[in-house]
Amino acid sequence: MNKSSFVLVMPNNSQSVEFGMETKYQSWHDITCVSLQVLQAQLESLLQGQEGIRSSCSFTEQALNHGSEAEVLLVKKQISASLDELANQELPLWPEENSQLDFLVETDGLRKSIHNLGALITTSAVAAETVATGEGLRVCIVGQPTSVTITTKDRDGRLCRTGNALLVADLSASDGTVVGEGEVTDHKNGSYECVYRVPCEGRFTLSIKLYEQHIRGSPFSIRACKLTDISLTADFSKNRLKSPGSSHAEQCAVKRPASTYSTGKRKENPTEDDLMFRIGTKGRNKGEFTNLQGVAASSVGKVLIADSNNQCVQIFSNDGQFKSRFGARGRSPGQLQRPTGVALHPSGDIIIADYDNRWVSIFSSDGKFKTKIGSGKLMGPKGVSVDRNGHIIVVDNKSCCVFIFQLNGKLVSKFGSRGNSDKQFAGPHFAAVNQNNEIIVTDFHNHSVKVFSPEGEFLLKFGSNGEGNGQFNAPTGVAVDANGNIIVADWGNSRIQVFDSSGSFLSYINTSADPLYGPQGLALTSDGHIVVADSGNHCFKVYRYLQ
């Protein structure tokens, strides 16, 4: 490719054409320089490896051909170590770049303005790091569309933020015969949706390739069943086609005025997205809220809401029916001043973090006060959770640390301090516990989610400040599903994101029909849906969730 490749001749507009040509050439030059640097670094690594092999082989041959037995014995250890190192050496066998560089001509734009010559299309996506997720990688229903989500990543495992990657999906029978192709939809944000159909029962292979190379885990083995042979509900079947990632990449916060749509009764969603219903409006009566914060869900079909400025906890059924509430305003034991977090203990007790009273209150399942813990230790508890040992995990927002208590109030341990390092927090909000008893904490002002061992040792973090896939503008609520996926409420971006257990972005919950406004706590209900405290809209919402 050379400079003249971008020339578009148009009469009487030579200066404009030349300007556009120079702009496109500079863009091409910048793109190729970046790719060249990557390939040059890879080439240097290969050449160094080649030189090491030649040097070691030459040294070994000289020792064996010209050295005495005594000399060979003297260098035997050195030769063995060198040869072992060569045998175990891993060198990059595939280019850590791809060959795509297309020129997209915008002819309509040319008619309007000579400067609209088009755009150069490229992406940093590589097959070895790109992943696919979804139930459709394992099982599907004969004759029905099945969807999987593909997330592209670059050679360092970072999420790609743009689309236009060349993805191809083929479906093959057990004998290798190609029986169909998947339809790939580009969401233009680094994620893609692949929809396929199988013609009959049996075992099939789904191959997903990026630039003619299999992505991670491809090819996938799929079992195709009839609808009567697989345990699927109608809602589940409906949502197989609809990828959570099909919502907009950026869902902006929208302040919604009080209206008849925001009532204390269950309200169905008239627009097609993941919202099932919403409950609540601003007020102090049953089913009304003022600054709701924490959310918990029980295994027996109850949803608990910490109604912060109403100084109470309200309890609903999974389908949104009001059941009861308890709590009285005050600063004495048994009273609530500013309840922010709520959790359920395996014993049935209800655990409530009280920010202003600086302690955690424990109530029986019917709302009778039992005891308080953490008094004199906590400065501003926000979120609360329970680990698999029955210990109470308290996120102290004010002191920027996490406390672990026994149910009787004995302090087991604590970790964290104020700061910006991996082991520190800046206004942490909520916590969840996964199947490995690891503690997942949302770090509000550091715009990240951090994972710690049960003993409080830092394991990993993910997220950065921004509006793209996997980025946050002050994360708040967090929950973990049965597969270890991490669900995070993104307060400033007013959205809910889903990540795998290692922190790689998977998808969004589609909230576009009735936008969130400053979501706080969230939880997974016993029937597999997401319930989130939509604090700015004074209600809680329940969304479909396809695990």
pLDDT digits 0-9 by tens, 166-191: 999 999 998 888 888 999 999 888 88
Please say whether the beta carbons of 535 and 517 come within 8 A.
Answer: yes
Domains (ranges, CATH) in the chain? 3-102 (no CATH), 131-246 (2.60.40.10), 267-543 (2.120.10.30)
Phi, psi of 408 (to 5 degrees): -80, 0
Which range has highest mean pLDDT (43-57, 116-130, 208-222, 373-387)?
Answer: 373-387
**Sign of dihedral through CA atoms 283, 285, 287, 290?**
positive
Three state DSSP letters for 333-357: CCCECCEEEEEECCCCCEEEEECCC
The average pLDDT across 100-113 equals 68
CA distance 202 to 266: 42
Hey, which residues does 462 pair with through a beta bridge? 449
Residue 256: pLDDT over 50: no
Q: Which residues is 432 bridged to in the sheet? A: 440
| Predicted model pTM | 0.57
pLDDT above 70 (res 245): no
Assess contact for 522 and 294: CB atoms under 8 A.
no
Host H or E run for residue 85: helix 69-88
DSSP state of 491: T
Cβ contacts of 371 within 8 Å, gap of 6 or more: 333, 361, 362, 409
Residue 381 has pLDDT above 80, yes or no: yes
Is the model more confident about 234 or about 359? 359
Please state the φ and ψ torsions of residue 389, each to the nearest 5 degrees: -95, 5
Q: Pick the more confident residue, 9 or 485.
A: 485
**What is the C-alpha separation between 129 and 115, in angstroms, rounded?**
37
Give the residue from 215, 218, 219, 195 showing the smallest Cα distance to 140: 195
- pLDDT at position 108 is 65
Whole-number CA gyration radius for the chain: 29
Residues 32 and 369: their CA atoms lie apart, in Å, by 68
Lookup: tokens for 72: 């060979």
3-state helix, strand, coil in the chain (%, to 5): 20, 35, 45
Return the bridge partners of 450, or none: 441, 461
DSSP code, position 355: T
pLDDT (mean) for 467-484: 94
Range in 281-295, 469-483, 501-515 the model is least confident about: 501-515
Coil, strand or helix: which one is 30?
A: helix
Residue 265 scores a pLDDT above 70: no
